[in-house]
Homo-oligomer: A and B are copies of this chain.
Amino acid sequence: MALIVQKYGGTSVGSIERIEAVADKVKGWRDQGHEVVVVVSDMSGETNRLVELAKAIQDSPVPRELDVLLSTGEQVTIALLSMALNKRHCPARSFTGHQVHIRTDSAHNKARIVDIDNKRIRQDLDQGRVVVVAGFQGIDEEGNITTLGRGGSDTSAVALAAALKADECQIYTDVDGVYTTDPRVVPEARRLERITFEEMMEMASLGSKVLQIRSVEFAGKYNVPLRVMSSFEEGEGTLITYEEEGMEEALISGIAFNRDEAKLTIIGVPDQPGVASKILSPIGKANIEVDMIIQNMGADGTTTDFTFTMHRNDYEKALAILEQIKQELGAREVSGDNKIVKISLVGVGMRSHAGIAGTMFEVLANEGINIRMISTSEIKISVVVDEKYLELGVRALHTAFGLENKPI
């Protein structure tokens, strides 16, 4: 018998039929003898309906009151799911964030969980009940209702799992696990049985939008085994844990990619201390998030070339800022490209194996793919290539590293 925290998102509880299906699933786990705590989001579309009501009054409503409003969404779902469970003779009780004391800071609309009192939940579990908790919400020290911001239900589930010392936190989504890469690009992509927190964070931040990064970070911090599963299909999903003995001995766990990248280069900047900051500060102030950064000496030895990547949507804005900076710094030229993509190999196995980067570059060269930028970390190698090479590059790497086969 295990204690399991399950989280079902908005699509999984988007209608009465779906809620009934979730109730079947939850009852199944309980019938196997497990203790189950369920965290749910609001029914899909409900947040938008509530936001529309608020916006009819004011474009930027008071954050405190917006939280009071939005938190009703999950409260509707917990009540309906508990009804559906009780109908199945599966005793269940619903709780708001307030009722189970999910304490957060006071940053309305984007609060962070500080503490959870597990007594009330423990008490109901001990009486054999399924406990259904509203995700995404809590209360601050003064008892004001707070919300964790969109997608915060994953974090609620992980925090509850940590507070209850649960054996596993299962996140139910519309995919059946984490894949070696996007199956729409590589049909042979394989579902991973396990992956480490670190790898998952790299995969998530690189565009495999299965889980909220914050919840993965949280799960890693409190060492909560996290499992991504499908609400709609049977299956084991993907378990996210710390590296363990006997874990898959793969060099590479997966290939992530970002489609909508762009890069800008400012060429011939007179080399002097503080150049990087003079370029990046105005970019940051304009709320443009910069990803990869490369600085090279220019051919003449007295100037430097500075390149960075950003989301394609920010390209025009960043370009205008750089043209301005070019004048101020007396640089020669600004050039850019908004038709690039980033491909990344991710794997904890890289740590102990040299030569991965070499293999990667060779595979891409054999396909005639020109590498425009390179960036590496301990468990990741990223390259920037022309947009048109994305599928070709990902498929070639997937095959070259044998990701379609389960490692022995």
**Which of B19, B57, B72 is A75 in contact with, Cβ under 8 Å?**
B72
Q: How far is the CA of A110 from the CA of B180 in the complex (A)?
A: 55
Determine whether the beta carbon of A57 is less than 8 Å from that of B93: no
Q: A57-B16, A57-B19 are in contact. Are A62 and B78 (CB under 8 A)?
A: no
Q: How far is the CA of A204 from the CA of B82 in the complex (A)?
A: 38
Interface membership of A107, Cβ < 8 A = no
Q: How far is the CA of A343 from the CA of B84 in the complex (A)?
A: 49
Query: Which of the candidate stretches A63-71, A162-170, A296-304 sits at the interface with the other chain?
Result: A63-71
Determine whether the beta carbon of B72 is less than 8 Å from that of A76: yes
Q: How far is the CA of A87 from the CA of B96 in the complex (A)?
A: 28
Give min CB distance, A78 to chain B, whole Å.
Answer: 6
Note all chain B residues with C-beta closer than 8 A to A76: 50, 53, 69, 72
Copies of chain A in the complex:
2
For this complex, 17 residue pairs linking A to B, each with C-beta atoms less than 8 Å apart, are A19-B57, A20-B57, A53-B76, A54-B83, A57-B87, A58-B87, A61-B83, A62-B83, A65-B83, A65-B86, A65-B93, A66-B79, A66-B83, A68-B79, A68-B82, A69-B83, A98-B98
- Further 19 A-B residue pairs, CB within 8 A, beyond A65-B83, A69-B75: A54-B80, A57-B80, A57-B83, A57-B87, A58-B83, A58-B84, A58-B87, A61-B83, A61-B86, A65-B79, A65-B80, A66-B79, A69-B76, A69-B80, A72-B75, A96-B98, A96-B145, A99-B145, A120-B143
